[in-house]
Structure 1
């Protein structure tokens, strides 16, 4: 059985870390397989949404495979992470398609950092999030030190980063880290509802939105807005020239559901 499973349902690609026997820890092969899956997602215009989750219900991912790291320290093997980062996502800058993380059980270290690299997080009520790297003499190198403060503010982020303290799903939702929490019985329908929501809008409009938000966050507000009118966001220009813009206006005026084509 592969360490990473992929499934396509219509326009949605689901990528599942499939190592439940070790809490979906990430060894080099798992990193490579996930990176390949997200390469496919980025390149395929027929795929509009990607969902990432862990198998087994007890862990999204416990992070890097410490046993594999020990082997690397002893010179028995190499612990190699692809240029796209942990799980093929944490250093994959410029991916403007939506990403939905479904977190059950623990999301620790690099596993948490994969979830942080996603746009939306749906958590089961048994989820726990943490960055315990300092407890083993390391740091949250895969984006955690930079994404977490941007997402929940400096003080709460530093609390987690400096103490290794984990938080439960309810706290993560209260802090704005998680979009929705569901119990085991409601989880799959909750995920399906989010997939419907994230697939309802025009795909090029969603891509333009994500691209503009991510680029604009690094700019002064006035500059970020001005770039919208000066061609500064290629994804926005692609949307403006698309058939879907015409279809959206027609569908609204004809009081019908639009038929998006992604072009």
Structure 2
């Protein structure tokens, strides 16, 4: 599939999706959100893709926010629909994928950009990265899950401060908050992310998908995460990956997971 605003590349089990609007600092507009949905959907359905990496083009920005020019004149109803559609199409969609998604945060991750990074399963940042939710400085609030995911990741007090001040934090502060897992110089970011992706790919993709579902259940209203874990644990016993993993362990060899 060809895209106008993103690039999707596959290599050795990894699909890398790059938001490619460098002149706009990779800002999210409606077309880009739709293209991202399509690319994530295609990668998730591709049996050969074991890990998805999302990053931004250039050296300045992961995603510097939403394209404000698209919604500056929206009504109350239009604003609500914008948030609802965006969450469904991209942010909630990414969070729920059974293929691991790593955000390689290579610069500014502001507003919708930070919200996209937070929807990923975890984040790795370059040392020049800056993160924040500046929406209240525009008279609006984060609308793509930011008020929900940020407190989950950094705690209520820190999230309140970041949202209320509309300020940015640097990569090391994000690391101390638990917002990102690792910080490295920008020239080392790709290498580290791919190294972690390769570690993930050694394991059962089926089990990883079930683990993602169980972890996410803890944050979903109406679900008991322990019950989901029990169900997911049981499901694993019916898979070829479980048979291969346990057999390989008993035979003292490396597992070759079939992925089903």
Match of 2:191 among 189, 203, 206: 189
What RMSD over aligned residues (CA atoms) do the two structures have, in Å? 2.6
Q: Does 1:113 align with 2:115?
A: yes
Residue of structure 1 equivalent to 2:49: 47
Tell me the distance in 2 between the aligned counterparts of 1:120 and 1:89. 16
Tell me the distance in 2 between the aligned counterparts of 1:86 and 1:14. 21
- Larger helix fraction of residues: 2
Match of 2:141 among 139, 145, 149: 139
Tell me the distance in 1 between the aligned counterparts of 2:69 and 2:155. 33
Residue of structure 2 equivalent to 1:262: 259
Aligned residues of 1:62 and 1:108 also touching (Cα < 8 A): yes
Residue of structure 1 equivalent to 2:100: 98
SS in structure 1 of the partner of residue 186 of structure 2: coil
Compared with structure 1, are the counterparts of its residues 61 and 166 closer, same or farther at alpha carbon in structure 2 (3 Å cutoff)? same
Tell me the distance in 1 between the aligned counterparts of 2:85 and 2:53. 17
SS in structure 2 of the partner of residue 5 of structure 1: strand
Compared with structure 1, are the counterparts of its residues 145 and 35 closer, same or farther at alpha carbon in structure 2 (3 Å cutoff)? same
Deviations 1:8-31 (A, max 9, x none): 113211111000111001122111
Aligned residue-pair number: 254
Aligned residues of 2:241 and 2:257 also touching (Cα < 8 A): yes
SS in structure 1 of the partner of residue 243 of structure 2: helix
Aligned residues of 2:83 and 2:143 also touching (Cα < 8 A): no
Structure 2 segments unaligned to the other structure (5+ residues):
none
Residue of structure 1 equivalent to 2:169: 167
Compared with structure 1, are the counterparts of its residues 83 and 69 closer, same or farther at alpha carbon in structure 2 (3 Å cutoff)? closer
Cα drift, residue 112 of structure 1: 0.5
Match of 1:157 among 149, 156, 159: 159
Q: Does 1:248 align with 2:245?
A: yes
Deviations 1:121-151 (A, max 9, x none): 1100000000000000111010000000011
Tell me the distance in 1 between the aligned counterparts of 2:107 and 2:249. 42
Structure 1 segments unaligned to the other structure (5+ residues):
none
TM-score, normalization: structure 2?
0.88
Deviations 1:158-205 (A, max 9, x none): 000111011000000011010000102322211121111221211011
Cα drift, residue 91 of structure 1: 2.6
Cα drift, residue 81 of structure 1: 5.5
Tell me the distance in 1 between the aligned counterparts of 2:219 and 2:212. 11
Tell me the distance in 1 between the aligned counterparts of 2:221 and 2:35. 34
Residue of structure 1 equivalent to 2:62: 60
Q: Hey, which bits of structure 1, 4+ residues long, moved more than 6 A?
A: none
Cα drift, residue 226 of structure 1: 4.4
Deviations 1:19-59 (A, max 9, x none): 01110011221111111111212333332211100000110
Compared with structure 1, are the counterparts of its residues 136 and 213 closer, same or farther at alpha carbon in structure 2 (3 Å cutoff)? same
